[in-house]
Amino acid sequence: MSLWLLVVVGVAAVVVLIGVLIWALYNRLTRLGVRADEAWSDMTVQLKRRADLIPNLVEAVRAYAAHERTVFEEVSAARASMLNASNEGPQALAGADNLFEGALKSLFAVAEAYPELKANHGFQQLRQELVNTEDKIQASRRFYNGSVRDLNTKIRTCPANLFAGGFGFTQREFFEPADRAGLEEPVALDFS
């Protein structure tokens, strides 16, 4: 009778141990998923912040360069596209962000042609705030991609890879620029 009891206790202990390990694994995957969600939210907040600065920047430039209508229309369309893409995932947002940065380059090129605009205090403040926002966007992209890397690594490694799909965890996409060539030519923000 005591041998039978030892076998039952041993099997119960193994079952409890496996249950605890699966529970811990699920919690770890959940924490990593929440961290990736938080990072995505932070990145979209920073991109929206930049998009919200642009109308003020456009108005400042428009006051000096009213005849540059197509540039203003391109910036407005790219801004709307980026705001709409934030709900469509990393690849869609990266593509829209790439178009937005291209439109900003055009706007900055117009601003370069007007020295009195570059000297305007309000324009300088907007430019500095945009530079700060660009830094925050870069930091939030790194945080998001790091969170996605951690989650994807955990999902792909054993024993998580045996259970992650069953728990509903899937790998996430990294936020990568749609145009890799654009990395070599970043947005020029120095008007001095």
Above pLDDT 90, what percent of the chain? Answer: 39
Return mean pLDDT, the chain: 84
74-118 pLDDT tens trace: 888 888 888 888 778 888 888 888 888 888 888 877 777 777 776
Whole-structure pTM value: 0.72
Question: Band of the pLDDT at 26, cuts 50, 70, 90?
Answer: very high
**Tokens, residue 42:** 């932070």
Is the predicted pLDDT of residue 168 greater than 70, yes or no?
Answer: yes
Q: Of the CATH numbers 3.40.50.12240, 1.10.3720.10, 3.30.1490.20, 1.20.1440.20, which one belongs to the domain with range 42-137+175-184?
A: 1.20.1440.20
Whole-number pLDDT of residue 54: 82
Long-range residue pairs from 107-111, CB within 8 A, at least 24 positions apart, any chain: 107/57, 107/58, 107/61, 107/71, 107/72, 107/75, 108/187, 108/188, 108/189, 108/191, 110/61, 110/65, 110/68, 110/71, 111/61, 111/64, 111/65, 111/191
Is the predicted pLDDT of residue 183 greater than 50, yes or no?
Answer: no
Cis peptide before 159 (omega within 30 of 0): yes
Residue with tokens 């030892």: 6
